[in-house]
Structures are given as structure tokens and as C-alpha cells.
Structure 1
């Protein structure tokens, strides 16, 4: 009798599994965040802002990072491993091979469900690597296929590059290229399509190679490689970094922001990052979807382009107004304050990215593993 009961339970369970029909594993059968009442959104956001500002004003009354010297990582074997030239070039080689595979896959005109290109570019790279940068430091500095190509094509030369990189340009080229990337991601109806994505990757690569040829690898990467500049800012939040001698150092999270150089175009790049994420959320609201549902392809592209630029502009306007108010308190020029405080927005950029893309990375990121 004792053996009969477990057997009956097992048989019943097998029958239930076999007889069960398909069920939705998520609230809507797809990738989306389950809704909560709007008042709860507003209440939660308002509470978070108020608590954050009160806590910062009460507990953080003086600079804590500007004069703090980071300590080298004390574990010698770790230092030797992470500063090993062979490991560095092995990592660079893997990054270059992965880039070639993704580019080749993105050039093939096959069904979207059969290619890994869009998932790798917009999910693993754009969302996933952003999160990793904030945790372990500037991985992209070593993984970047563009920097590796520059090192291979234009090794250190005795003479100067053909032209000196204009100081007034700052990171403006990177800001404009980042704007082009988010436009492809959020607006262009064919940006993620197989074939088109591959051509865009090749175009971006040619721009990078041309920039490194004309202005030199180091100067162009620092000012014209959009992902090196953007991901480098995110890496400033990480507790791990490298000093001028290449040693791995430990520092408090966020401390790297104190060393960000306020170069021309830095504020614009941060505004693009903030505004584009804001527009991505706005374009998914029922209000936006209902107003654009009847538009044709070209009309929708034009409206979305204007919406993206307008959202970035509104974010910039809100920041400018805040700086105008701050300038009256500290008796300074608002545009100078705006540039100096630009690095303080980088944690908000990361928070926006985590809040907006975490579920996207967690759920749809699995598609890349399936398509490999």
C-alpha cells in the first residue's frame, strides 16, 4: 500500500503534464514589464527623488572623492594576471573575432529569427556591456575591435599623424555618432534588419579607421569613438580601474567621476544618453502608440525622429534651468556650472539604463544563446 500511493501520485503528475495545453509564462506572453497603477508610479518616483535629495543634502555636505588617492589592488597574482600582455592581446583577438562574426551574421539577408546580429548589438552589447562596465571597469578599452584595428593598422609611428585633433572638437564626434546609433536603435525601421545592420556596422568601422588615420589612434578614440567615450564614462562608476602605470586599482564606487575632464561635447553626449532612454520609454506608452498607429512608414519615421530630438532637447532644457537656478545661489555662470556638473549625471544615465533595459537584457538576451 505504501508503494502504491507514490506510484499513483507520479502517474497523476505525468498525466497532468501530458494533458496540459500551452500556457503563457509571462503576463502578456512577451517581453514587457507588468503594469502597476499610475499613481503608484508617481508616488514611488516622487518618494525616491525626495529621499535621495534629502539624504544627499544632509549626509554629503563636502567633496569626498576629489582628493582621495585610490589604492593599488594588493593581491599580486591578480595584478600579474590583469596586466599580462599576452592576456591583453588574447582578449583583443577574441573581441576582433567576435566582431567579425557578428558583422558577417548581420550582413546576411536571412530571417530576423535566424541571425544573432541584432541581439548581440542592441542587447548584449548596448545593454549588457553597459552594466558590466559599471561593475568591473572599462572592459571595452580592451575588447574594442576599433581600438585593436587601430593598433594593428596604425602602430605607434615616429612622426605625428597627418592632422592634429582639434581641441575644440572635444567629444563632439562621439556625441553625434552616439545620436546616430540611438536613432538607428529607436527610430529607423530597418536599422536592426539583417543586411542593413551589417552595412551600418561597416560604415561605422570605416569612419573609425578614417578618423584614426587622420588624427591618430589615441586622440580619435578619446574623442570620436562613441562607445569608447560613453562606456568609458560608465566605467568611471566602477570600483576597479587602471592607473597611469597600468596597475589595477581599487577605489570607492563613483570616485572615478571626479577625474572626468570637462571636454567640449561631454554635456551633449550625456544629454543624448539621457534623452534617448527617456524617449524609448515615451514611445512605448499607450498615448504615443495610439497617436502614431495610423501613420505610414515614412511619416512614423519623421515623427519619431522629431520626438527623439525633442525629448533630448527637453531633457537639456530642464538641466539648463536647474543650472540657472544653481548659478544664482553660488554666483557663477550657468553654462560653466552645466559643464562642470555633467559627470554628476552619469549615475542617472546608468540608473535609467538599468531601469529600462534590465528586463530586456534578462528575457530577450536569451534569444542570442538560442541562435548561436
Structure 2
């Protein structure tokens, strides 16, 4: 392992260690049964900001200019499922069959099963186990989605679709189909009423399946998945953070987050997708804060727009859903403006003539660990509690009263994880996510600038952005607690 690779590893481990050391004194008081914060919220926010600042100093000291292309150390695990071996082929087939089986089970239960959400396998599996739980696996362990992906597997098995086609995917189109489909998906998950109903879920899955297979038929399986498929993009993005890398022919062990280090700037559509991903997770948290309630109260009591609201409501428009939908569209745009502003300041501070969109493309992947951290902090309680529902549903997936595995009468254990533990996990996740983001942004700056001074100066605006977002994220997560 080369010296610079060792330094890169040491920086990651050092900043994680610093975060633990600074956070531990806060936890020394522990939490009471009522789960009141033992110290003022301002002390948590200040401590988190200090951790991010210290991580920047460590990165500045140990990560300097280098001509090496790859600063991401990894260890090949050639002994585990070696390429071309029967064990690897069998494992791949088993995983593919499992993915297809779960896909058809979800469709069948959604269409033929009990239409009550909690009595049907499909809503819990899709919204809790797959969307939340599987994301944890992809981001923290390895991205197995390319193998599990049932749409890809069925396309390959059918032999109707070509893996590659002469018709190339339009480069100018970028990842905008991903952005549009993710906006629709986020609206369905966070705002719409009905996606949790089995019959509705069946049609949503069927529509997305047809959309995906039509795209594969036009551009080829690989072209469509690499450029325009929502879930391939989403899981690939979080999968770059994971401990194991499965992209190459060999399985490799790497430093978590190091897969996000890159040399070429992302297309602006990819940049917007990362911003959208971060904003939607934050948006879900904001809906649970008193700030959102105050905003709704202000809108409903505002004398200028009140007549319009009354007219819309009389026309059958749900004002709450309309307000949330507008907020879902506005928030990523605001976050993008803020991010671009800090990227502009970074370019100016580094005395570079680089285009703003190029700078944003270089730095945007440093936001992925933050999005992942918020995903963990926001959904860990939901996964641990609501996810238990899959145990009785495994025995009775259609809601017909079956007891296949003898687990139909399983009672959900609400004490499996308490709110105090969730708060601890949230603090560590948010701080560590921002710390890794600082290191990744510094790494990108090393690749851009010619000397250490330029690199440091360019990172000061982004450091301020990281500190501000760290404090904002913890504030959002704390509001249901402190209010």
C-alpha cells in the first residue's frame, strides 16, 4: 500500500476517532426515561461544528498535493467467490432468482391479497424492507442491486432485450430522466395518499416496470440502467460509500466513503440529482418540525392568499398536499442555489477560472455521506419497529389467515430500539457523514489545484457550508424531541 494511500486511510480513521472522542462527553450524562436532552441543544450543535472543523484541520495537514490518481486504498478478496468459479455463478443465480421471486410475490400479494395495508406483504416489503432496509445494506455493506435487480434479470432471461444497442443514449439528456422519476417517487413516498394501499402499489410497480423495459428496449439494457434508471442510479450512488466494492470482477475491501473519491466532474444533471436526494431526505425531516407547522399556519392565516386558498379548496384541491408539493419542488432549487453559491466562493478563493457547474460536479459527491447519514438518522427507528411487521406477513403474505412459518401471531416489540438510542445514532451518523464529506471535498480540491495554499483557501467556503448543514441537520432531528 503506497504512502499516500496510507495517509488517506489515516485521515478517515482519525476524523472518525475525533468525532467519537468529542461526542462521548455529551453522552456521559446519559438520557432519562423521559428522553430530555441532558445538555442544551446549542452545546450539541457547537460540538458537532467543532468536530467538522477539526476534521478539516486533519485533512489539511495529512492530505497534500499528489500526482497519484488513486488515493483510495483497497484490498482484493480473491479468495472469496473467485471470478469464474462455480461458487460465484451459483451465488449469482440464487440472488437473481430471489430478486425475481420477491418481485412476483410483491405483485401477486398487491393485486390478489387483502387490500388492507397492514395485512398485506407488499407495502411493508416495498416501503420498509426494500426502500429503507435494502438501502442500508447497499450503503454500508455492498451494492448488490445490479444482481438483485428483477427488471434487469427478467430482461436478460427473456433474451428479447439486447444488452447493448446501436442507438446510443443521448449524452445531452444526462441523468434528467432519473431526476424526474425521483421527484415523482419522492412525491409518492412523502406526500401522496394511497401508495401504501396494495392495489395502488400494484399499478405503480407495473407502470414503472413497463417504463423501464421500454427504455431497455430502445437503448439496450446496460445503456438504460447506467444512464436513466432511477434505482440503479440511487443504489450506485449510495453503494460507492459501502465497505465492499463489487463493481470490478474481484470483490475488494475499502475504506467506507472512499469510493466517492473521483477525478472527473459529474454532469450537471447528476449534480442536481445528488442535491435532490439530500433535499428530499431533509424535507421529510422538516415536515416533523414546529417550523413547518408555523409555515402552514402563516399560509392559512395570510389575508392576501386566503381567498385563493378558499377558492382552491372549494374546487376540491387539497391545500396541504398542494403546499407540500410546492415545497418539495422549491427546496432542492434553494439548496442547489446555496451549494452553487458556496462553490462559486470556493472557485474565487482558490483563484481558479473553472466554470461553476464544473466545480459543482467536482464537489457534489462529498454531499452523499451527508445524505446517507440523514437517511440512517431519519429512518433507523422506522426500520427497526415497522420492519418487524414483515415477520408475521412472511407467514401470511396475502392476508388470508395462513401461518406458513408459524409467525403469524408475532407481536411487534416496540422496545427493540428506544428514542435515546436513536438520538445517539443520529448524532454520530450526522457528524461522521459531514466529516467524511469534508475529507472528500478536500481530496477533490487536491486534484483541481496546483498548490497546497490554493487547496486550503478553496475549501474554506465549503467548510463553512458543511458546518452550517451539520448544525441544521441536528436541529431538524432534534425538534420532535426538544419541543
Question: Shorter-chain-normalised TM-score: which range?
Answer: 0.7 to 0.9
- Give the equivalent residue in structure 2 for 1:11: none
Report if aligned partners of 2:187, 2:325 keep a CA contact under 8 Å in 1.
yes
User: Please, which moves more after superposition, 351-360 or 170-179?
Assistant: 170-179
RMSD: 2.8
Find the aligned partners of 1:40 and 1:224 in 2 and give their Cα distance. 46
Cα offset, 1:196, TM superposition = 1.0
Tell me the SS of whatever aligns to 2:261.
helix
User: Please, which moves more after superposition, 80-89 or 144-153?
Assistant: 80-89
Find the aligned partners of 2:342 and 2:319 in 1 and give their Cα distance. 34
1:82-101, Cα deviation, whole Å (9 max, x unpaired): 97112202210110110111
Find the aligned partners of 1:156 and 1:208 in 2 and give their Cα distance. 12
Alpha-carbon distance change, 94 to 121 in structure 1, aligned in 2, over 3 angstroms: same
Alignment of 1:42-191 (within 5 A): 42-60=42-60, 61-62=63-64, 66-68=69-71, 70-76=74-80, 84-107=88-111, 108=113, 110-154=115-159, 157=162, 161=165, 163-191=167-195
Cα offset, 1:149, TM superposition = 1.9
Find the aligned partners of 1:82 and 1:280 in 2 and give their Cα distance. 45
Cα offset, 1:232, TM superposition = 0.7
Find the aligned partners of 2:172 and 2:53 in 1 and give their Cα distance. 35
Cα offset, 1:182, TM superposition = 1.0
Alpha-carbon distance change, 85 to 264 in structure 1, aligned in 2, over 3 angstroms: farther
Report if aligned partners of 1:106, 1:194 keep a CA contact under 8 Å in 2.
yes
- Give the equivalent residue in structure 2 for 1:231: 235
User: Please, which moves more after superposition, 306-315 or 45-54?
Assistant: 45-54
Report if aligned partners of 1:137, 1:239 keep a CA contact under 8 Å in 2.
yes
Cα offset, 1:110, TM superposition = 1.4
Q: Unpaired runs of 5+ in structure 2?
A: 1-33, 301-308, 395-483
- Give the equivalent residue in structure 1 for 2:261: 258
- Give the equivalent residue in structure 1 for 2:252: 249
Tell me the SS of whatever aligns to 1:265.
helix
1:4-35, Cα deviation, whole Å (9 max, x unpaired): xxxxxxxxxxxxxxxxxxxxxxxxxxxxxx86
Find the aligned partners of 2:272 and 2:87 in 1 and give their Cα distance. 34
Find the aligned partners of 2:92 and 2:176 in 1 and give their Cα distance. 29
The answer as to 2:318 corresponding to 1:313 is no
Cα offset, 1:318, TM superposition = 1.9
Report if aligned partners of 2:80, 2:251 keep a CA contact under 8 Å in 1.
no
Find the aligned partners of 1:72 and 1:82 in 2 and give their Cα distance. 19
Report if aligned partners of 1:171, 1:222 keep a CA contact under 8 Å in 2.
no
Report if aligned partners of 1:66, 1:258 keep a CA contact under 8 Å in 2.
no
Tell me the SS of whatever aligns to 2:318.
helix
Find the aligned partners of 1:311 and 1:183 in 2 and give their Cα distance. 13
Find the aligned partners of 1:302 and 1:82 in 2 and give their Cα distance. 54
Tell me the SS of whatever aligns to 2:115.
coil
- Give the equivalent residue in structure 2 for 1:18: none
TM-score scaled to structure 1, two decimals? Answer: 0.82
1:137-192, Cα deviation, whole Å (9 max, x unpaired): 1111111111112212346759x626321112222212221111111000101122
1:240-272, Cα deviation, whole Å (9 max, x unpaired): 11354x111122221211248623421111111
- Give the equivalent residue in structure 1 for 2:324: 304
Tell me the SS of whatever aligns to 1:250.
strand
User: Please, which moves more after superposition, 43-52 or 323-332?
Assistant: 43-52
Find the aligned partners of 1:347 and 1:315 in 2 and give their Cα distance. 16
1:284-314, Cα deviation, whole Å (9 max, x unpaired): 2234346658896722211110111122222
Q: Unpaired runs of 5+ in structure 1?
A: 1-33
Tell me the SS of whatever aligns to 1:365.
helix
